[in-house]
Amino acid sequence: MNYSIAIYGGPYSDQSAHSALHFARAVLKREHSIQRVFFYHDGVYNSSALVSPPQDEANVPAQWQELAKEHDIELVVCIAAAVRRGLLDEKEAKRYSKATHNLADGFTLSGLGQLIDAGMTCDRLITFGA
Protein backbone atom coordinates (compact mmCIF):
# COMPACT_ATOMS: atom_id res chain seq x y z
CA MET A 1 0.00 0.00 0.00
CA ASN A 2 1.20 3.49 -0.82
CA TYR A 3 0.76 6.15 1.87
CA SER A 4 1.16 9.90 2.16
CA ILE A 5 1.20 11.76 5.46
CA ALA A 6 0.08 15.29 6.32
CA ILE A 7 1.48 16.91 9.47
CA TYR A 8 -0.14 20.01 10.96
CA GLY A 9 1.77 20.32 14.25
CA GLY A 10 5.26 21.56 15.04
CA PRO A 11 8.01 19.20 16.18
CA TYR A 12 7.82 20.27 19.83
CA SER A 13 4.44 21.97 20.26
CA ASP A 14 2.43 18.74 20.28
CA GLN A 15 2.79 15.03 19.54
CA SER A 16 1.63 15.07 15.91
CA ALA A 17 5.06 15.13 14.21
CA HIS A 18 6.50 12.57 16.62
CA SER A 19 3.46 10.27 16.23
CA ALA A 20 3.62 10.62 12.45
CA LEU A 21 7.28 9.62 12.54
CA HIS A 22 6.44 6.46 14.51
CA PHE A 23 3.59 5.71 12.11
CA ALA A 24 5.88 6.16 9.10
CA ARG A 25 8.45 3.77 10.55
CA ALA A 26 5.75 1.17 11.22
CA VAL A 27 4.41 1.49 7.67
CA LEU A 28 7.88 1.04 6.20
CA LYS A 29 8.63 -1.89 8.50
CA ARG A 30 5.57 -3.65 7.07
CA GLU A 31 7.07 -3.07 3.60
CA HIS A 32 4.53 -0.49 2.49
CA SER A 33 5.70 2.74 0.87
CA ILE A 34 5.38 6.42 1.69
CA GLN A 35 5.28 8.73 -1.28
CA ARG A 36 5.14 12.09 0.42
CA VAL A 37 5.03 13.83 3.77
CA PHE A 38 3.31 17.21 3.55
CA PHE A 39 3.94 19.77 6.29
CA TYR A 40 1.20 22.38 6.76
CA HIS A 41 0.25 25.05 9.33
CA ASP A 42 2.71 24.84 12.27
CA GLY A 43 3.94 21.54 10.84
CA VAL A 44 6.25 23.61 8.62
CA TYR A 45 8.50 24.12 11.65
CA ASN A 46 9.64 20.52 11.12
CA SER A 47 11.61 21.82 8.13
CA SER A 48 13.72 24.39 9.96
CA ALA A 49 17.47 23.99 9.65
CA LEU A 50 17.81 25.97 12.89
CA VAL A 51 16.11 23.47 15.22
CA SER A 52 18.54 22.68 18.05
CA PRO A 53 16.92 20.55 20.76
CA PRO A 54 18.81 19.62 23.94
CA GLN A 55 20.93 16.47 23.70
CA ASP A 56 18.44 14.44 25.71
CA GLU A 57 15.54 15.21 23.31
CA ALA A 58 14.85 13.74 19.89
CA ASN A 59 15.71 15.92 16.93
CA VAL A 60 12.44 15.29 15.10
CA PRO A 61 13.29 17.33 11.98
CA ALA A 62 16.61 15.49 11.59
CA GLN A 63 14.80 12.18 11.98
CA TRP A 64 12.45 13.14 9.13
CA GLN A 65 15.47 13.98 6.99
CA GLU A 66 17.12 10.62 7.73
CA LEU A 67 13.95 8.63 7.07
CA ALA A 68 13.27 10.46 3.81
CA LYS A 69 16.80 9.96 2.56
CA GLU A 70 16.84 6.29 3.49
CA HIS A 71 13.45 5.51 1.89
CA ASP A 72 13.25 8.10 -0.92
CA ILE A 73 10.30 9.98 0.59
CA GLU A 74 9.33 13.47 -0.56
CA LEU A 75 9.27 16.05 2.26
CA VAL A 76 7.03 18.84 0.98
CA VAL A 77 6.43 22.05 2.93
CA CYS A 78 3.49 24.35 2.19
CA ILE A 79 5.09 27.47 0.78
CA ALA A 80 2.42 29.88 2.01
CA ALA A 81 2.50 28.53 5.58
CA ALA A 82 6.31 28.42 5.58
CA VAL A 83 6.92 31.95 4.29
CA ARG A 84 4.33 33.30 6.73
CA ARG A 85 6.32 31.67 9.56
CA GLY A 86 9.76 32.77 8.35
CA LEU A 87 10.89 29.48 6.80
CA LEU A 88 12.53 30.18 3.46
CA ASP A 89 14.54 28.29 0.89
CA GLU A 90 17.27 30.12 -1.01
CA LYS A 91 14.92 31.23 -3.81
CA GLU A 92 12.31 32.67 -1.43
CA ALA A 93 14.97 34.38 0.70
CA LYS A 94 16.16 36.23 -2.40
CA ARG A 95 12.59 36.99 -3.47
CA TYR A 96 11.85 38.62 -0.10
CA SER A 97 15.30 40.25 0.20
CA LYS A 98 16.26 38.26 3.28
CA ALA A 99 19.88 37.80 4.29
CA THR A 100 19.72 34.01 4.45
CA HIS A 101 17.51 30.96 4.15
CA ASN A 102 16.70 28.35 6.78
CA LEU A 103 14.86 25.47 5.08
CA ALA A 104 16.64 22.24 6.01
CA ASP A 105 18.15 19.99 3.35
CA GLY A 106 15.76 17.42 1.95
CA PHE A 107 12.66 19.60 2.35
CA THR A 108 10.99 21.29 -0.64
CA LEU A 109 8.65 24.27 -0.67
CA SER A 110 5.54 23.77 -2.79
CA GLY A 111 1.85 24.57 -2.90
CA LEU A 112 -1.25 22.86 -1.57
CA GLY A 113 -1.60 21.09 -4.91
CA GLN A 114 0.98 18.62 -3.62
CA LEU A 115 -1.34 17.71 -0.74
CA ILE A 116 -4.29 17.29 -3.10
CA ASP A 117 -2.15 15.20 -5.44
CA ALA A 118 -1.10 12.98 -2.53
CA GLY A 119 -4.74 12.38 -1.64
CA MET A 120 -5.57 11.45 -5.21
CA THR A 121 -2.57 9.27 -6.06
CA CYS A 122 -1.92 7.37 -2.82
CA ASP A 123 -3.96 4.57 -1.33
CA ARG A 124 -4.15 6.39 2.00
CA LEU A 125 -3.53 9.96 3.16
CA ILE A 126 -3.06 10.00 6.93
CA THR A 127 -3.26 13.29 8.83
CA PHE A 128 -1.59 14.13 12.15
CA GLY A 129 -2.51 17.26 14.11
CA ALA A 130 -5.36 19.72 13.84
Residues labelled catalytic: 78
Helix (H) or strand (E) holding 108: strand 107-110
Handedness of CA 3, 59, 90, 9 (dihedral sign): positive
Non-local (6+) Cβ contacts of 74 within 8 A are 35, 36, 37, 68, 108
CA distance between the termini of the chain: 25
